[in-house]
Structure 1
Amino acid sequence: MTASTSANVRGAAFWVCYAVTVISAVVSIAFSIGAVSDGGLEQVDALYAASRSTALVVLALVAPMFRSDAALLAIAVAMTIVQGIDAFIGAIEGDLLKTVAPAVLCLATIIAATFLARSDRVRSAD
């Protein structure tokens, strides 16, 4: 593989992982804000979830500023865990949307992160 092709693969892998991670983080914060709106400020658990979701969105949005694969992969792993747990909670509640949507985002993030991690191997094989 030429250096140009390798760079293109790496660039595509980074931006695909970035897009999926940001979508996952935005969906997570949207559900958190919805929970705060439904329960008001008395719903302390929803406020804690919203604070964590806000931090993840900010980290996901600033990741391209540093162009660090490792940083983006760390955020992707965090979002995978969050979405996986959200899918589990949705299943316990018996809510199909709150089970399937996070499960799909969890799997999409795993695939995108794997694509990014493997692009590094392609790059180092040259």
Structure 2
Amino acid sequence: MRGASIITGINVLVASGFSLAGLISPQSVLPGADTPTHGAQIFALYAAARTIPLAIFVFAAIYRQSARALLILGALAGVVQLLDAGVGAFQGDVGKTIGPLSIAVLQFVAVFFLAKTINADVAERGRGP
């Protein structure tokens, strides 16, 4: 569970960081020539509204050492990064495509191994003493 905790924690911190950067300094996340607008600020608020609660729940699952909760939240965080990579590709920004795609791949690998661990634990309990 430790590896999945680390990867998922970093994932949601990165996602939350970008959404907060969009609120504080919108020009830092917009394509080069674009200027911040009220609409960009609204979209930054939407991004923060999804990433910050996800981060809070992920860190609660890590604190409680809840492997099952981390499995679900980790899968969700991976999907979010995968969709962010799609946004980066649509935007034509290689960095905003490769970065989230890399994090998504790492996240899905972590989720895969966490699921194997959970299944092994369940199987072991089923065998009895």
Q: Same fold (TM over 0.5)?
A: yes
2:75 alignment counterpart: 77
Q: CA deviation at 1:125?
A: 4.2
2:92 alignment counterpart: 94
Between stretches 29-38 and 90-99, larger displacement belongs to 29-38
2:12 alignment counterpart: 25
CA displacement 1:7-65 (0-9 Å, x = unmatched): xxxxxxx1100110011101101111121223379311111111211111111111123
Structure 1 alignment gaps of length 5 or more: 1-13
User: In structure 2, which of residues 101, 109, 114 is the aligned counterpart of residue 111 of structure 1?
Assistant: 109
Letter in 1 for 2:3: V
> How does the TM-score come out when normalised to structure 1?
0.82
> How does the TM-score come out when normalised to structure 2?
0.80
Structure 2 alignment gaps of length 5 or more: 27-35, 125-129
Is 1:45 aligned to 2:43, yes or no?
yes
Higher relative CO (CA 8 A, sep ≥ 6), structure 1 or 2?
1
Tell me if structure 1 keeps the 8 A contact 2:68–2:118. Answer: no
Q: Which runs of 4+ in 1 moved over 4 A?
A: none
* CA RMSD, Structure 1 to Structure 2 (Å): 1.7
C-alpha distance in 1, partners of 2:16/2:63? Answer: 21
C-alpha distance in 2, partners of 1:53/1:27? Answer: 9
Tell me if structure 2 keeps the 8 A contact 1:41–1:47. Answer: no
CA displacement 1:66-93 (0-9 Å, x = unmatched): 2222100111011011100000000111
